[in-house]
Amino acid sequence: MTHLRQMMLEELERRNYAPRTIECYIQTVKHFSRYFKRPPDQLGTEHIRQYQTALFSKWKLAPNTVAQRLAALRFFYVKTLRKPWSVIETPYPRRRRVEHLPMVLSQEEVAQLIDSALTPFHRILLMTLYATGIRRAELTGLKVTDVDSKRMVIHIRGGKGRKDRDVMLSPVLLAALREYWRSLKRKPSGWLFPGTSAHAADFPISVKTVYHACQHAARRAGFQKRVHPHTLRHCFATHLLENGADLRTIQLLLGHRNLADTAIYLHVSQRHLSATASPLDMLSLGNKRDK
């Protein structure tokens, strides 16, 4: 680890940034440095401006993503290097708030996805995502002690916003986790899903492992639609809603701060859509034909 990387990491940890944010910020500065093939402390405002343009024109990133990359660079220069930062010379892009409805698979498609997992390990990861509705970063942070079979819940420690919560432990998932546990040659002492290689066994799997598990399964299932780990979170919430769960319960299970964030699943719930009649159905129209 370079001296600059270590300095930035310490500044981020000192301010109690979330692990996912820390990883994103570190990778951004690394990418910025590689783009110009120079150490980041030797780059200045003009390089930042060029990089911002490239994020839009070369990599076609969304305004919100570019703003996040700029926030990472700003942290590096202001908090790590103690250098000034001019918002006038490096303005943040105008953000566009676009409400996209989440893509949701049917229950049959979810079963097909899980059955198409590349390996048994990938299968248990996909099952856990769908059974609990947790985020992939929360999945990688699960420990053996978080599985509470007596209360039939899984404890989520330090989720988004540093909040703890409990989610249900499905009997089917519990049986699958026990089978997974019996299959392990080396029982993990801490992490529920440790790294698979010998040198990584003392660390949890990365979020990329979860992403690849989903991607491989989607390709093997022959899905044309884009499927990623968060898709299973959307499926979890939508299918609960369609089976009669109330929004408040789903909000607590997902760890949403606002109920409005959970209400979006009303827009994709087949049960709620089909139960609402179109106003056309209320009209008394005659069967007149043009003569």
Residues annotated as catalytic (active site), given as ranges: 135, 160, 230, 233, 256, 265
Q: Which of 244, 117, 241, 242 is nearest to 176 (CA)?
A: 117
CB atoms within 10 A of CB 144: 15
Pair 112, 133: CB distance under 8 Å: no
Determine phi and psi for 193, rounding to 5 degrees.
-125, 80
The 8 Å CB, 24+ separation contacts for 172-175 are 172/127, 172/131, 173/127, 173/128, 173/131, 173/132, 174/147, 174/149
Rounded to a whole number of angstroms, the distance between the first and last alpha carbons of the chain is 83
What span, in angstroms and rounded, lies between the C-alpha atoms of 146 and 171?
Answer: 15
Run of H or E residues at 168:
strand 165-168
Q: Angle formed by the axes of helices 207-221 and 107-115, to 10°?
A: 110
What span, in angstroms and rounded, lies between the C-alpha atoms of 65 and 123?
Answer: 31
Q: Which of 232, 239, 205 is nearest to 119 (CA)?
A: 205
